[in-house]
Structure 1
Amino acid sequence: MLFQKTHEMPTAAEALPGRATPLHTDEVHYVSGRPLKGPHPEGFETAILGMGCFWGVERIFWQLPGVWVTSVGYAGGITPNPTYEETCTGRTGHAEVVQVVFNPHETSYGDLLKAFWENHDPTQGMRQGNDVGTTYRSAIYWLNDAQRAEAEASRDAYQAALSKAGRGTITTEIAAAGPYYFAEDYHQGYLAKNPAGYCGIGGTGVICPIGVGVEA
């Protein structure tokens, strides 16, 4: 291992230098055929969410109604245009994330947050199940003040539900979205390309009250 502190975020001095050129990735989504990088229909919105290994996470969201296109990538870190191998060292600071472009007239940001909370365990810190390290942390990267407020309110509502069920404290990082770097082409739509591929996603079994009468 190039970097042993897999549970600690690197400093700028420790981070890998990266590169100025974006990685090669798919141009269109493997399932829908829609462009990963746009243009997207006018009025559509974007969410960036991290829930552990992004292969299974992406499939959850591309199956939801109102979702236009999804992609997987790296966010929340320091190194520009990191490779998958570099993120795995823990020396880029990035989390594996899914970018979701959605039609707000068909689904809401709150609906996406409900799927986010219910489909992983947000109490595990720098890991998700058997996947250990900072790259697998739970994260919501908001793109505007409204998303920030909704993310924080949904966290508080879900924490109350988790506490009632005797579960632990949410460790999800909620932060402003910085650069989003598209992951390599073989990661995009991975479980459609590889139906028997690894999917480490699993929830707590606790229902998030957002969308069932609780306003975020």
Structure 2
Amino acid sequence: MPSRPLWKDEIGRETINSIVKKVIPAWTQGLRPFQLDLVAPLLNGDDILCCTATGDGKSAAFSVPLLVLNEYNSNPHLYPRGLDTRIGPMGIVVTPTKGLANNIVFELSKLGIHGFAYCRESLADARRAGNDLTSLIKSGTKWQVICVTQNIYKTKNGASSQILLYSVRNCSSLPWTRTRTSAICNSLGLFPGAFHLIRRSNERPN
């Protein structure tokens, strides 16, 4: 019996780039190699720690998995069968600041992805307007990405399998020694052999 295809296999990676070039025509070459290394395991549900500079392109992790799954689900006859998928995928991005959350939402809007910055101000606005944010978010019909500022983020067990969780932190000032990286991984529950590490230069591109 043939094995089930994986997104991180050659056929899956080719499918990702094929979809990216279709839904984002401006990206004529598809993803950069490191972005593909980042997105493919995410689509298989693997844990990843990616350390790279601001502006290097890691935000593809917030947008591309959603775009790929939406296209794959909408036109399954165009792509290899059997790749892992989720119906109505949603991404949760934990950011250190409200400004970064708002910026991510703005950039995602350029790709047709609806996002929401979940911070103290937006919570207050929702209360004043009488909106039930919890129900709106859980419905998955209004937003595909929720950017949560870390001061109000709380970890909850039993997250839905549709959820893709990302965390964005400004770590450019940290010396990425082997000891420090191991400590960070352990604090996140990422243990050797159980996640992918992508570490690039933290020098910001000009």
TM over 0.5: no
Who wins on radius of gyration, i.e. which is larger?
Answer: 2
TM-score, with structure 1 as normaliser: 0.29
Greater helix fraction, Structure 1 or Structure 2: 2
TM-score, scaled relative to structure 2: 0.30
